[in-house]
Amino acid sequence: MKSAVFVSVFAVLVAVCAAQQNPASPESAAELQTGISLTGKGNFAEAIPHLLAARGHVRDEYAAGFDLALCYVGTRRFKDAIAVLTAMTGAGHDGDIYNLLAQAYVGDGEPRKAFEALQKAAELAPRNEKLYLFVADACADSQNYVLGLRVTDLGLRNLPQSSRLHYQRAMFFARTDQLDLAKPDFDLAVRLEPGGDIAYIAEAQEQLFSGNISQAIRAGREGIKNGHESTALLSILGEALLRSGLIPGQSDFLEAEAALEKSVADRPSDAGAQLNLGKLLLMKNQLQQAITHFEASRLLAPANPAAYANLAVAYRRRGNPEQAQQMLEILSDLNKQQEARISAAPGDHKASYVTDGIK
Domain with 275 in it: 268-335
Contacts of 208 (CB under 8 A, 6+ apart): 216, 236, 239, 240, 243
What is the structure's pLDDT at 29? 82
pLDDT digits (tens, 9 = 90+) for 252-296: 999 999 999 999 999 888 899 999 999 999 999 999 999 999 999
Q: Please indicate, yes or no, if residue 162 is contained in any of the structural domains.
A: no
Diameter of the chain measured on Cα atoms: 63
Q: Please indicate, yes or no, if residue 329 is contained in any of the structural domains.
A: yes
pLDDT digits (tens, 9 = 90+) for 10-41: 444 444 444 444 455 778 888 888 988 998 88
What is the structure's pLDDT at 351? 36
Q: Please indicate, yes or no, if residue 149 is contained in any of the structural domains.
A: no
Cβ–Cβ < 8 Å for 324, 301: no
What is the mean predicted confidence (pLDDT) over 288-306?
A: 92
* Lowest-confidence region among 68-77, 88-97, 315-324: 88-97
pLDDT digits (tens, 9 = 90+) for 198-232: 999 999 999 999 999 999 999 999 999 999 999 99
Structurally, how many domains does the chain consist of? 1
What is the structure's pLDDT at 60? 65
What is the structure's pLDDT at 355? 34
Q: Please indicate, yes or no, if residue 227 is contained in any of the structural domains.
A: no
Mean pLDDT, the chain, whole residue set: 87
Q: Please indicate, yes or no, if residue 59 is contained in any of the structural domains.
A: no
DSSP sequence for 93-139: -HHHHHHHHHHHHHHTT-HHHHHHHHHHHHHH-TT-HHHHHHHHHHH
Q: Please indicate, yes or no, if residue 106 is contained in any of the structural domains.
A: no
Compare 94 and 18 and report the one with higher pLDDT.
94
Q: Please indicate, yes or no, if residue 291 is contained in any of the structural domains.
A: yes
- In whole angstroms, what is the distance from residue 81 CA to residue 61 CA? 15
Q: Please indicate, yes or no, if residue 142 is contained in any of the structural domains.
A: no
Question: What is the domain-level CATH number for residue 322?
Answer: 1.25.40.10
* Residue type for position 66: F
What is the structure's pLDDT at 165? 98
- In whole angstroms, what is the distance from residue 312 CA to residue 225 CA? 37
- In whole angstroms, what is the distance from residue 184 CA to residue 186 CA? 5
pTM comes to 0.81
